[in-house]
Amino acid sequence: MKPRSIVFDLFGDYVRYRGGSARLRTLSTLMGCFGVGDSTVRVVLARLRKEGWFDVRREGRETLYTLNTRSLQLLDEGRSRIFDRAPSEWDRHWYMVIYSVPETERGVRDRIRKELAWLGFGPLAPSTYVSPHDRIRQVREKFADEPAVRLDTLRCQSGGLPVDREMAARCWDLDALNEDYRELLRTYRGRMASYRAGHLSPEEALVERMQLTYDYRKFPFRDPDLPTELLPAGWVGHEAHEMFLEAHELLGPAAESFYDEVAGNRTAPQK
């Protein structure tokens, strides 16, 4: 697990529900559970602060890192994509985004591709992305402040379901994605009995829960949450998601109690 990811997961699963601030010593202790040293913690937090993800204030001799509007928006978007993945009925329409960016703006082009993938769009052709979900508004909001970006958007239909399935297979490597879901199930399915029985210590539960989130978080970047009609036979993505939700909930009470013990919290989290 990368230290940067650990910081965001700690804030996303714990800190934000306990006032949105965490002391440096609390973060150092918790990241120490993952083998991250104090000096590395300071470097990572300083870098994230410089990038504008956190505000910092002093309380006596303590340094507190606090979520701001930007980081809260990131955490909200991430949590929605990771946890809210219920399939919906499809109206057989595709939503297409065609983008144009000057050759000199390669960084912007890379960011467009990353953001489109995060929103569930797949590459049908160069500079042309499609999704079965109407997320055009979110795309336009993402790039409203990018004068170098031109976006053309369409709502369209193909020649029928066989063509739709062929398009989906071109835009996403569903077979490889399905195999990775199977690997996730193989990794965690055998641990579920222990989770249900509460055999893990609070510290072990927090570490396990953080690792689970880290392992699962990559899937929303790759999985567009396609309608059932477009999925290959033997799809296990929905099963993997349900297992993730159950495991995350089962580990929650013990993991949260460990966080509260380290942070010295005495009040219930606000969710």
pTM listed for this prediction:
0.87
Q: Are residues 188 and 256 in the same domain?
A: yes
220 vs 240 pLDDT, higher one: 240
- Of 60, 30, 32, 28, the closest CA to residue 42 belongs to 28
- Residue whose tokens read 């489109």: 116
- Tally of domains in the chain: 3
Mean pLDDT, the chain, integer = 92
pLDDT at residue 267 tops 90: no
Q: Which domain range does residue 13 map to?
A: 3-72
For 160, left (φ over 0), alpha (ψ -120 to 50), or beta? left
Q: Are residues 106 and 24 in the same domain?
A: no
DSSP type of residue 15: G
Q: Are residues 240 and 182 in the same domain?
A: yes
Question: Per-residue confidence at 53, pLDDT binned at 50, 70, 90?
Answer: very high
**pLDDT tens for residues 87-104?**
678 999 999 999 998 888
Q: How far apart are CA 149 and CA 178, in angstroms?
A: 34
Mean pLDDT of 77-87: 81
**What is the CB neighbour count within 10 angstroms for residue 69?**
8
Q: Are residues 186 and 246 in the same domain?
A: yes
Spatial contact of 232 and 178, defined as CB atoms under 8 Å apart: yes
pLDDT at residue 182 tops 70: yes
pLDDT at residue 190 tops 90: yes
In a domain, 271, yes or no: no
Q: Are residues 258 and 183 in the same domain?
A: yes
Q: Are residues 182 and 151 in the same domain?
A: no
Assign 58 to helix, strand or coil.
strand
CATH number at residue 131: 3.30.70.240
Q: Are residues 118 and 193 in the same domain?
A: no
Task: State the pLDDT at residue 59.
Answer: 85
In a domain, 77, yes or no: no
